[in-house]
Amino acid sequence: MKHKLNLRTQLIVICFTFPLLSGCKKIIDYISKANIETRTCQISEILISNEISHSFHHYRFTYNDFGDPVKIFDDTRPQGNYWFFKYDKFHRLIESLSTGDSSLTKGIYSLWSKYHYNILNQIVDETQYFSGLKTETGPVPSQSYNKKHYEYDGLNRIDKETDTSYYNHHTSYWSQKRYVYESNGNLRWRLYDDKVNILRTNKIWMFLVKDYSLNNAFKANEYNEHQLPLKIYFPREFMDFLMSSAGNIQVKYDCQNF
């Protein structure tokens, strides 16, 4: 961490000393915005249609008074698909739940995640349980689960993820992934537009997708006045935690209350 902080300091010193250097405006702008939300708008609805698979999804987003997402509802199934988000008194995400109906007390969940923080208020550990029971006292841990550990760079972005899978408390799989950012503030090996990354409308989306890039890894067909994407045709990646993100996408925002 010390090395990364020193590198960041060097970039700041060089760019503020020689502000006309190529790329310095972008670097200075990015350092001031890394891991910070662009709260000009919040996502209110996402519609995804795929003519090839004949599928359609309509996601509706609900937020609390602090602007934290509390529910996503896909109304295209008879009972719906739901994502619920729970926070502590410090407005930190502590649990999320993906389930095929609106009940929190009965039935089976698809994915239940619990999050743990370090003293810097960074999520450093996540436990994911798969296909378990929902009860009156809350979700029940399942025999199949993952443990994820996250490390951060000097700009408060996840740059390393270690994933260990278990079944009945025995390790079944282990993997490690690194997230490398270019000096322009975007993840490496992708093509980007020059607009505002839709994930930056809320820090929860940045964390769930593990992407703190300044720009979108696609070029939208249309943007709104805040330079956020409105219409996208089959992006390579788009809010993958929704599980159904391939197709023609339309995004609606609430830009009145921010």
Q: What confidence category does residue 8 fall into, taking pLDDT thresholds of 50, 70 and 90?
A: very low
Number of domains in the chain: 1
DSSP 184: T
User: Mean pLDDT throughout 8-31?
Assistant: 50
Report the C-alpha gap between 23 and 81 in whole angstroms.
44
* Domain assignment of residue 14, yes or no: no
* Domain assignment of residue 29, yes or no: no
* Domain assignment of residue 3, yes or no: no
* Single pTM value for the model: 0.84
Give the CATH number for residue 94: 2.40.160
Report the C-alpha gap between 66 and 69 in whole angstroms.
9
Instruction: Identify the three-state secondary structure at position 134.
Output: strand
Q: What confidence category does residue 1 fall into, taking pLDDT thresholds of 50, 70 and 90?
A: very low
pLDDT at 193: 95
pLDDT at 15: 53
Q: Tell me which residue of 199, 180, 191 sits closest to 219, measured CA to CA.
A: 191
> pLDDT: is 3 or 111 the higher one?
111
Q: Is it the case that residue 5 has pLDDT exceeding 70? A: no
Domain that holds residue 165: 34-254
Q: Is it the case that residue 178 has pLDDT exceeding 70? A: yes
